């Protein structure tokens, strides 16, 4: 998100925190990535009446994901564009 200044960013953060909750705060305990992933899989399957099964990526999919990590997602231009965050260093 882009904000005109830090004060606007802070106000937006306050509004979000006033209306949002984390899974951890609702459940009263930390939730591991795998548990959350399984919950999403079950919910999508139930809601869309699907039997979702894990599959291995094809060779082409693996190659493409490695290419994206190497040439796109690890570069500051992508990260800064997507988050507005500027890494120090």
Q: What is the pLDDT of residues 18-44, one digit of tens each?
A: 999 999 999 999 999 999 999 999 999
* Helix (H) and strand (E) counts in the chain: 5, 0
Long-range contacts of 78-81 (CB under 8 A, 24+ apart): none
H-assigned helices in 4-89:
6-19, 23-27, 33-48, 59-68, 76-83
Q: How confident is the model at residue 68 (pLDDT cuts 50, 70, 90)?
A: very high
Q: CB under 8 Å to 84, separation ≥6 — which residues?
A: 1, 2
- Statement: the pTM of the whole predicted model exceeds 0.75: no
């Amino acid at each position: 998100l882009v904000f005109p200044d830090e004060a606007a960013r802070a106000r937006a953060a306050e509004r979000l925190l006033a209306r949002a909750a984390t899974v951890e705060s609702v459940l009263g305990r930390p939730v591991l990535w795998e548990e959350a992933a399984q919950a999403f899989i079950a919910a999508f399957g139930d809601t869309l009446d699907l039997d979702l099964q894990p599959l291995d990526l094809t060779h082409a999919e693996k190659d493409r994901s490695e290419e994206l990590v190497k040439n796109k997602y690890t570069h500051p231009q992508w990260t800064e564009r997507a988050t507005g965050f500027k890494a120090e260093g």
